Amino acid sequence: MNKSELIAAIAEQAGVSNKDAGACLDAFCDVVASEVAGGGEVKVPGWVSFSHTIRAARTARNPQTGAPIDVPAKAAVKIKAGAKLKSAVAEGSAAPGAAPAAPAW
């Protein structure tokens, strides 16, 4: 599913226009990015959480030559699926070829 398909699905589910659904999705993404970039955390209970983390500096190896490469520390986003999302995915993948079950929220 791409962004325009997601917007259309949200609009249909919520009974709003595609324009309004797109504005809400964009606002959600902006708020999450802003909060996580500032070192905060965003949680949607049972579904997903986004948090800021720092990956430590390390020494890696070039797979072709085996030469060591210094990889500097860097900021990253940690995304963790919640129990409801995990359950919905497990139920949807239980029967191969079956349509995924609608989330019960």
* Domains, the chain: 1-38 (no CATH), 42-94 (4.10.520.10)
Cα first-last separation, the chain: 20
- pLDDT at position 12 over 70: yes
Q: What's the whole-number mean pLDDT along residues 8-28?
A: 96
Average pLDDT (70-84) is: 95
CA distance 51 to 33: 10
β-bridge pairing 58-61 and 74-81: unpaired
Distance CA 19, CA 39 (A): 31
- Which pLDDT value is given to residue 99? 57
**What is the model's pLDDT at position 92?**
82
Residue 93 has a pLDDT of 72
Q: What is the pLDDT of residues 84-104, one digit of tens each?
A: 999 999 988 755 555 555 555
| pLDDT digit string, tens, across residues 46-68 | 999 999 999 999 999 999 999 99
**What's residue 63's pLDDT?**
94
